[in-house]
């Protein structure tokens, strides 16, 4: 059968034609089905010598009557034609020749004739003559037409169910992929971009974007956070769109849908917009952003299917953003607690106030410069920062009389001071995520020549994090005032580090530090750690660093 016919006639209708053709042939009638070019696509002969060509001449009559809306039956010389239609289009022509219709009497008829003294041949001829009557054949064909049309309706229903199941399955796969990638440690932009990419794989649009509210010193504003393609909604238009979306939601609609397909636009849009959909991102019954797409490309307009899909994805995005806010709050609370703890330790001695935060920042500086020369993951840099912040946490177990003693320490007091790395490591060991961080606290007084404490490790026995913290701690100590001496200037401190290479300090780590812009580092420290090229403030980086512990 030609492929074009297979596309127009459903499998249910083909099955219906097959069954009807066999039934007709069993009644000694001939049936043929022709396509619109006159080719025979089905033939059910009543006898061995019958050919569909005998019926082809009746196609002209069938085509003349095919303009009617219904499948009208036309009869001529016991030959009946029906134009089979799919809605308004003729897809095939059915022709039945009933001129030779014969019913062979069964045993019941034979017994009837014998009992009632009826001539069997005369009765058979009368019956067959009646069957050749057009009304009988038309009744058969009318019943078939009803069955044929019902088969199409059933086929369409199955197709609709199949399409809906396919859409639902794709939506579930999309939401599953998004949920499996929902990690609070990734940024809003990364996750929301994934959401945009997932949608555009299933819905062809000219552009899609996600806007989120962002608070700053000037108040709240909408920020373009993710998107792809050419979305025709500029930043200035975003506030207006949010206002229109809010109006639609207040009217109990799930989304904003607007187009000029069937009627003029409800709202005013840029000239490039032909149709538009927008759905909210909500948390605690408040809109904090929206997803918008413009100009669907594979059909005239957005419909309820897109509303359902976009709303589901937007809800998933809203959950992620909300979780991210909670995670950010927890990180800030945690880093705030750590800084409060280290500040309380530093505050025991007026000469070491701010020491832990400065060591944390200098350690981060060294680690970042190190990563520019040697392989070092960003997460490790974050952990180095935390290790610098917590390197002296063990001093919480050292009496203030020893920490703040104005004079030379005796042997017992020196041992107490030298125990603080182990005390710190013991405290941090209770937090499993701190396994690498505690190495910095434990080893920050080890020396390359093995004369350090608490373990007397030599060279590469000292972990990199310990080497970095040791250098940062020494630099801050040298450039800070102590009870027993004034602060060194930077040049003096640099010369001291040069002299200490391969004895106190690891050579590779020290060279990385000495080759960096130390004067710039010093200016940043004096300016309160404000890094205009990186994070807006020191606290913000601390919260980011905490996130590295949870990856």
220 forms beta bridges with 215
- In angstroms and rounded to an integer, the radius of gyration of the C-alpha atoms of the chain is 43
Question: Which has more pLDDT, 6 or 194?
Answer: 194
Gap between the Cα atoms of 264 and 245, Å rounded: 18
pLDDT of 275 higher than 60: yes
Interval 510-550: pLDDT, tens: 999 999 999 999 888 887 664 444 544 555 666 667 666 66
Residue 471, in any domain of the structure: yes
Helices 134-180/304-346 angle, 10° precision: 10
pLDDT for res 401: 83
pLDDT of 435 higher than 70: yes
Instruction: Determine contact, residues 324/190, Cβ cutoff 8 Å.
Output: no
pLDDT of 217 higher than 80: no
Comparing CA positions, the residue from 295, 398, 288, 294 lying closest to residue 348 is 398
pLDDT for res 501: 95
CATH of the domain at 544: 1.10.3210.10
Calculate mean pLDDT across residues 312-322: 90
pLDDT of 296 higher than 70: yes
- Provide the number of structural domains found in the chain: 3
Question: Which has more pLDDT, 320 or 407?
Answer: 320
Residue 443, in any domain of the structure: yes
pLDDT of 309 higher than 60: yes
> What b/e readout covers 123-149, taking b as 16+ CB neighbours within 10 angstroms?
bbeeebeebbebeebbebbeebbeebb
351 and 320 in a single domain? The answer is: no
Calculate mean pLDDT across residues 202-230: 87
363 and 311 in a single domain? The answer is: no
Instruction: Determine contact, residues 24/31, Cβ cutoff 8 Å.
Output: yes
268 and 145 in a single domain? The answer is: no
73 and 151 in a single domain? The answer is: yes
Interval 328-367: pLDDT, tens: 888 777 877 777 887 777 776 665 678 888 999 999 999 9
Which residues constitute the domain of residue 279? 188-324
pLDDT for res 261: 83
Gap between the Cα atoms of 207 and 205, Å rounded: 5
> What integer best gives the mean pLDDT of the chain?
83
- Which pLDDT band holds residue 450 (cuts at 50, 70, 90)? very high
306 and 423 in a single domain? The answer is: no
Name which of 151-165, 275-289, 332-346 the model is least confident about: 151-165
pLDDT for res 493: 93
Cα separation values, 183 from 80, 169, 317, 381, 434, Å: 70, 23, 12, 20, 20
390 and 525 in a single domain? The answer is: yes
pLDDT for res 533: 41
258 and 390 in a single domain? The answer is: no
15 and 65 in a single domain? The answer is: yes
Residue 164, in any domain of the structure: no
477 and 368 in a single domain? The answer is: yes
pLDDT for res 98: 81
Residue 176, in any domain of the structure: no
296 and 381 in a single domain? The answer is: no
Instruction: Determine contact, residues 268/290, Cβ cutoff 8 Å.
Output: no
pLDDT for res 52: 87
Most confident of 7-11, 65-69, 92-96: 92-96
Share of the chain above pLDDT 90, in %: 35
Interval 63-87: pLDDT, tens: 555 555 455 677 666 788 888 877 6
248 and 293 in a single domain? The answer is: yes
Tokens of 131: 């069957």
Residue 275, in any domain of the structure: yes
pLDDT of 396 higher than 50: yes
Gap between the Cα atoms of 319 and 313, Å rounded: 10
Residue 150, in any domain of the structure: yes
Cα separation values, 68 from 7, 140, 302, Å: 22, 20, 35
Cα separation values, 142 from 36, 70, 84, 138, Å: 22, 11, 12, 6
- Which pLDDT band holds residue 120 (cuts at 50, 70, 90)? confident
pLDDT for res 539: 54
Residue 504, in any domain of the structure: yes
Helices 304-346/538-547 angle, 10° precision: 110
Instruction: Tell me the three state secondary structure of residue 13.
Output: helix
215 and 361 in a single domain? The answer is: no
Instruction: Determine contact, residues 394/421, Cβ cutoff 8 Å.
Output: yes
CATH of the domain at 293: 3.30.450.40
Gap between the Cα atoms of 456 and 87, Å rounded: 91
Name which of 67-71, 101-105, 148-152, 313-317 the model is least confident about: 67-71
Tokens of 232: 């025709």
Instruction: Determine contact, residues 100/28, Cβ cutoff 8 Å.
Output: yes
Residue 333, in any domain of the structure: no
CATH of the domain at 60: 3.30.450
Calculate mean pLDDT across residues 319-323: 89
- Which pLDDT band holds residue 7 (cuts at 50, 70, 90)? very low
Gap between the Cα atoms of 422 and 80, Å rounded: 103
Interval 231-271: pLDDT, tens: 888 878 899 999 999 999 999 999 999 998 888 999 999 98
Instruction: Determine contact, residues 318/178, Cβ cutoff 8 Å.
Output: no
């Amino acid at each position: 059968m030609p492929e074009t016919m297979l596309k127009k006639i459903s499998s249910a209708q083909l099955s219906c034609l097959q069954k009807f053709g066999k039934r007709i042939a069993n009644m000694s009638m001939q049936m043929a089905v022709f396509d619109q070019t006159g080719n025979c696509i089905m033939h059910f002969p009543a006898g061995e010598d019958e050919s569909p060509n005998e019926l082809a001449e009746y196609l002209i009559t069938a085509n003349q009557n095919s303009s009617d809306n219904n499948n009208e039956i036309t009869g001529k010389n016991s030959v009946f034609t029906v134009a089979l239609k799919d809605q308004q289009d003729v897809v095939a022509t059915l022709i039945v020749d009933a001129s030779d219709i014969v019913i062979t009497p069964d045993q019941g008829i034979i017994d009837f004739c014998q009992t009632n003294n009826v001539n069997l041949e005369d009765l058979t001829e009368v019956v067959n003559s009646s069957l050749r009557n057009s009304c009988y054949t038309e009744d058969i064909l009318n019943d078939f037409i009803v069955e044929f049309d019902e088969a199409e309706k059933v086929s369409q229903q199955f197709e609709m169910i199949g399409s809906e199941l396919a859409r639902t399955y794709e939506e579930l796969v999309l939401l599953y992929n998004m949920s499996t990638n929902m990690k609070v440690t990734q940024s809003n932009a990364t996750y929301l971009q994934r959401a945009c990419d997932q949608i555009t794989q299933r819905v062809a649009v000219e552009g899609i974007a996600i806007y989120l509210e962002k608070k700053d010193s000037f108040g709240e504003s909408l920020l373009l956070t993710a998107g792809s393609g050419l979305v025709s909604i500029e930043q200035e238009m975003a506030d207006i769109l949010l206002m229109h979306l809010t109006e639609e939601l207040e009217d109990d609609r799930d989304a904003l849908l607007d187009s000029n397909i069937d009627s003029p636009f409800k709202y005013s849009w840029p000239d490039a917009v032909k149709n538009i959909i927008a759905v909210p991102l909500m948390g605690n019954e408040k809109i904090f952003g929206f997803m918008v797409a413009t100009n669907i490309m594979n059909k005239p307009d957005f419909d309820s299917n897109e509303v359902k899909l976009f709303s589901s994805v937007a809800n998933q995005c809203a959950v992620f953003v909300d979780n991210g806010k909670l995670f950010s709050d927890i990180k800030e609370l945690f880093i705030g607690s750590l800084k409060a703890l280290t500040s309380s330790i530093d505050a025991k001695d007026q000469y070491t106030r701010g020491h832990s935060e400065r060591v944390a920042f200098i350690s981060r500086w060294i680690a970042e410069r190190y990563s520019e020369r040697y392989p070092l993951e960003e997460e490790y840099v974050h952990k180095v920062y935390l290790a610098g912040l917590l390197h002296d946490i063990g001093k919480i177990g050292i009496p203030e009389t020893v920490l703040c003693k104005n004079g030379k320490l005796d042997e017992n007091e020196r041992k107490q001071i030298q125990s603080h790395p182990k005390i710190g490591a013991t405290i941090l060991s209770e937090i499993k995520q701190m396994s690498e961080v505690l190495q910095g606290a434990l080893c920050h007084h080890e020396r390359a020549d093995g004369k350090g404490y608490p373990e007397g490790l030599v060279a590469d026995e000292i972990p990199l994090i310990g080497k970095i913290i040791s250098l940062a701690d020494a630099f801050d100590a040298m450039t800070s005032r102590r009870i027993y001496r004034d602060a060194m200037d930077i040049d003096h401190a640099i010369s001291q580090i040069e002299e200490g290479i391969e004895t106190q300090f690891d050579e590779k780590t020290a060279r990385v530090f000495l080759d960096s812009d130390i004067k710039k580092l010093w200016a940043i420290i004096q300016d309160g750690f404000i890094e205009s090229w990186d994070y807006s403030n020191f606290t913000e980086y601390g919260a980011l660093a905490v996130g590295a512990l949870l990856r």
